[in-house]
Structure 1
């Protein structure tokens, strides 16, 4: 199986015109193994446990004291904005005032509290947009005083807070449209509301909804390829078909494209639990650009736009893998890198940060990667909702 998974790590789309022109990969048969229930147990960092990076890189704790740190963006004044996705969640502003690469007492400010599992964040003009599980709101935001005015709901999502509850926000490069990703309610059940398992876009005030892509089971990490208007998304796929099905993926998003859920996956591989229901959609399912391992639970993607890492990393994609529960032997709990050239994947998926999982056969892990942020100095920030802290990855020349 290992050689098959290696072959699956890179799939570059051969045509931009029709999914049928893109070769679908060979995948294991459904139910090739029993479906496992193997959730992790998060423990304190074991004595001697070390995080591993390529030569020349280092990692240090940047901030701590959170409940469930998740998504990160920069604010207008260089502050880092962080969503803490507890049931009564918060959004924080972090300012490293003394520039010692660590958030200390007095450098963390709570902007707002009592939110319903906040995740996605976006800045547009003098507004901060916050995506909760059941609502997208925007607030007038004064970044100099780090204060919010009363918010207004612009996209109601009442009744859609169950299942995949994270919502990612992203403005287009011109700041004209707001993109929103919403995951499915169920694993593979047809008939859900049209907003589920989709990427949509809106005017900045929440009007004018348009569907960009559908059939994306949980399109949680969205990013623009640098210098272009090409949207990429990291997507969590379904469970229950065995250890090596269905692979998560990272792909460029085609306008109006259908990506399979819940009738098929990774091209026209028909979902056996919905067999025969929508052969028309099975036939048009797009093959994604990059196929990851099954069940790694990809949670964020960022293209590297900094200058402090070696040249081979520039323009490539970093992905945070939260880690598996539906696999007999644990996978994920890491950050991976995908090299790019001329706007396309140019090599296999590489391990970049590992070590949170010391033994894939053990239930115990001591960290779970979630969010990524390329910092202004070129370092890479990682949120970890296992250890409930932020980590800063730097390169030393």
Structure 2
């Protein structure tokens, strides 16, 4: 960052913090559920910015509902992102950090500086770590590097004896054997993944219910196409990939940043959480949870939440806006949903039986902090049914500083527990019913 841009960034940060300290913030709006309230657009030269600075847990724990307990399954990881529970109960954790897109505008530099204040100082591991909690006490007694030397791994999937890892630039296949704690065999490339510029570098991954297809979420290369649409080829899409041949097709498009994918177990439908665009105001645009309809177009960059046109995009494309689908469920603006996992069987009991857990990494471009928690979205017959409910909170301490930031979440059906990757404190948390011993 040049001295000039750093000065601008510091000035913007100071102004934002001063605005927050004065208690000035937009009126609260219900931006969750099937019909979120959408305010008027409010584009500004420099968007309001505030991020919770890291503070560490200092012996504290995240807050969970009565009847549940939380433990640190593993600490001192290297930027844990997404997780996968293996059939024998071992847990895989993808660790890494990608990106490195050029910042073309002063506001990009400012945003990058502000967001950087809320990140860990640890270097990404570029590896897959295996955790084993054989005695079920909520603390892993075995921890090994299963696969090393990767390139910003993120999405994980297992089909039979094939383990799939989505690097930022390629989908790889590794041989897996039950109980193995290290894989030295080089990964076989299934297909290359778009990684030119890589503004949104994460590549989410899920396998179809029958295992024949793999789905990869590929984020846009910009906020709303300001880098030119030529760099958006095969971006803001979800690919469907033949697991054997590697051949792919675009399953859905106009889906700005599909950060996590999961199969809803009662219908076998593919769902995604999606991070929407910035700089239209602190209450626009809601991030969302949606079923992924084959051939669906979700609006990016031309419109949001269906047919609400984005005036910043040139040329305007009313023909594309007319095709835009309305997402299924709003999560709130700028909560940065990065994790998605559905329950199966009896779930976690009580009010948390049928539905989805969502990890919300937390906002940076609104005066009041949003996200920084794990929420529960209740489902009925494979569809959302009710408002989201906080499940794990306390990631923001009483002083307003961030103790942690949730990313991936994974429901472990064998034990009825929930795993949460926290990439600020570099911890994997485990939530279990208080009475559970295993």
TM-score surpassing 0.5?
yes
Aligned to 1:103: 140
Q: Does 1:156 align with 2:192?
A: yes
Corresponding residue of 2:172? 137
Equivalent residue number for residue 373 of structure 1: 410
Cα deviation for residue 132 of structure 1 reads 0.9
SS at match of 1:147: coil
Q: Structure 1 or 2: larger strand share?
A: 1
Rounded to whole Å, the distance in 2 between the matches of 1:265 and 1:46 is 41
* Structure 2 contact 29–37 (Cα < 8 Å) conserved: no
The residue number in structure 2 matching 1:293 is 332
User: Any stretches of 5+ residues in structure 2 without a counterpart?
Assistant: 1-24, 98-123
User: Contact 1:223 / 1:233 at 8 angstroms: preserved in 2?
Assistant: yes
User: What do residues 272-327 of structure 1 show as CA deviations (whole Å, max 9, x unaligned)?
Assistant: 21165211111221111111111110001111115362243222111000001111
What CA deviation, in whole Å up to 9, does each residue of 1:328-350 have, x standing for no partner? 11111100111111221111111
The 3 A distance-change label for structure 1 pair 229 and 242 is: same
How far the C-alpha of 1:354 sits from its partner, in A, is 1.0
Correspondence 1:127-206 to 2 at 5 A? 127-148=162-183, 149-157=185-193, 159-160=195-196, 162-189=198-225, 191=229, 192-206=231-245
CA contact (8 A) 2:26 2:282 kept: no
Quote the residue 1:64 is aligned against: 75
For 2:197 and 2:167, how far apart are their aligned partners in 1?
9
Taking the TM superposition and a 5 Å limit, the aligned residue runs for 1:12-91 are 26-31=37-42, 35-46=47-58, 49-86=60-97, 87-91=124-128
Check conservation: 2:191, 2:247, Cα contact below 8 A.
Answer: no
| Secondary structure of 2:176's aligned partner | strand
Name the residue aligned to 1:350. Answer: 389
- Aligned partner of 2:360 in structure 1 is 321
CA RMSD of aligned residues (A): 2.1
TM-score by length of 2: 0.81
SS at match of 2:216: strand
Give the total of aligned pairs: 379
Gaps of 5+ in 1: 13-24
Deviates more, 1:364-373 or 1:72-81: 72-81
- String of CA shifts for 1:87-128, please: whole Å, max 9, x gaps: 451101111133322113xx0110122211110111122221
2:236–2:254 Cα contact (<8 Å) kept? yes
Matched, 1:10 2:33: yes
**Distance in 1 separating the partners of 2:140 and 2:394:** 23
